[in-house]
């Protein structure tokens, strides 16, 4: 059973459709019991970090998500879902995250005043990924895939080894795919990234442990 976590923070229609397009029938749910039974969990999210975390708390989903992670259930966090995997977030004040991968969700660097190629924040649009060769989820990510981003914050993990892919924004290599064990997070939107995004989702659904 594939569970898409519904905590009132996102457009789940497209994500559900993407999973269906790949031949699976997702269960879109906010039921903690469903998370305990899930074989794979997709954890989306849009909006602000603190508000999204509040949405999880209201529905009693924080401990069930942590328990599923401990049990080794493959989890794919998307956008704010990816950010919530980290220890803390700095958007609109400091907020506690799920702390499944240690790190801080921090604001993207602003462009240098004299940089003609400077990227405006929020970062909206398509970018190629720099996939790390030794990355834990190299089977899920592929170099040369372009993905769709819309964000102002990024998952700055503490341990370099948790970085699966980066993209270069305003002179810095920003982590945009992270992974530790069976937990994977992507800052971009695979469900909005055309055929390349669907391939990534397919690999997450197919691989033995999701990574």
Question: Which residue numbers are catalytic?
Answer: 79, 189, 191
Please write down the HEC assignment for all residues of 127-182: EECEECCCCCCCCCCCCCCEEEEEECEEEEECCHHHEEEEEEECCEEEEEEEEECC
Tell me if 148 contacts other proteins by CB under 8 A.
yes
Which of 127, 138, 139, 207: binder of other proteins (CB under 8 A)?
Answer: 127
Which of 39, 126, 171, 209: binder of other proteins (CB under 8 A)?
Answer: 126
Tell me if 197 contacts other proteins by CB under 8 A.
yes
Which of 37, 57, 107, 120: binder of other proteins (CB under 8 A)?
Answer: 120
Whole-number Å distance between alpha carbons of 65 and 68 = 5
Backbone torsions φ then ψ of 10, nearest 5 degrees: 160, 165
| Structure token digits, residue 181 | 């064990």
Which of 95, 132, 192, 203: binder of other proteins (CB under 8 A)?
Answer: 192
Tell me if 149 contacts other proteins by CB under 8 A.
yes
Which of 1, 67, 71, 124: binder of other proteins (CB under 8 A)?
Answer: 124
Whole-number Å distance between alpha carbons of 113 and 29 = 45
Query: Which of the residues 36 through 65 are near other proteins (CB under 8 A)?
Result: 46-48
Tell me if 22 contacts other proteins by CB under 8 A.
no
Tell me if 23 contacts other proteins by CB under 8 A.
no
Tell me if 107 contacts other proteins by CB under 8 A.
no
CB 173 within 8 A of CB 130: yes
DSSP characters for 13-61?
HHHHHHHHHTT---EEE--HHHHHH-SEEEE---S-HHHHHHHHHHTT-
Which residues of this protein are in contact with other proteins, per CB under 8 A?
11, 13-14, 17-18, 21, 46-48, 117-120, 122-127, 144-146, 148-151, 189, 191-198
């Amino acid at each position: 059973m594939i569970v898409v976590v519904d905590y009132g923070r996102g457009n789940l229609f497209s994500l559900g459709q993407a999973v269906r397009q790949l031949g699976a029938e997702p269960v879109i749910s906010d039921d903690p019991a469903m998370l305990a039974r899930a074989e794979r969990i997709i954890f989306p999210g849009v909006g602000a970090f603190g508000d999204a975390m509040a949405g999880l708390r209201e529905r009693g989903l924080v401990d069930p998500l942590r328990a599923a992670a401990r049990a080794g259930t493959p989890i794919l966090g998307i956008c704010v879902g990816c950010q919530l995997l980290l220890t803390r977030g700095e958007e609109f004040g400091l907020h506690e995250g799920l702390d499944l991968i240690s790190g801080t969700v921090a604001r993207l660097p602003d462009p240098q005043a004299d940089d003609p190629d400077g990227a405006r924040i929020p970062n909206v649009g398509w970018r190629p990924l720099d996939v790390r060769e030794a990355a834990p989820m190299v089977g899920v990510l592929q170099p040369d895939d372009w993905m769709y981003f819309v964000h102002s914050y990024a998952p700055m993990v503490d341990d370099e080894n948790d970085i699966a892919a980066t993209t270069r924004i305003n002179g810095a290599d920003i982590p945009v795919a992270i992974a530790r064990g069976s937990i994977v997070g992507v800052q971009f939107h695979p469900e909005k990234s055309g055929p390349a995004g669907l391939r990534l989702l397919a690999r997450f659904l197919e691989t033995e442990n999701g990574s």
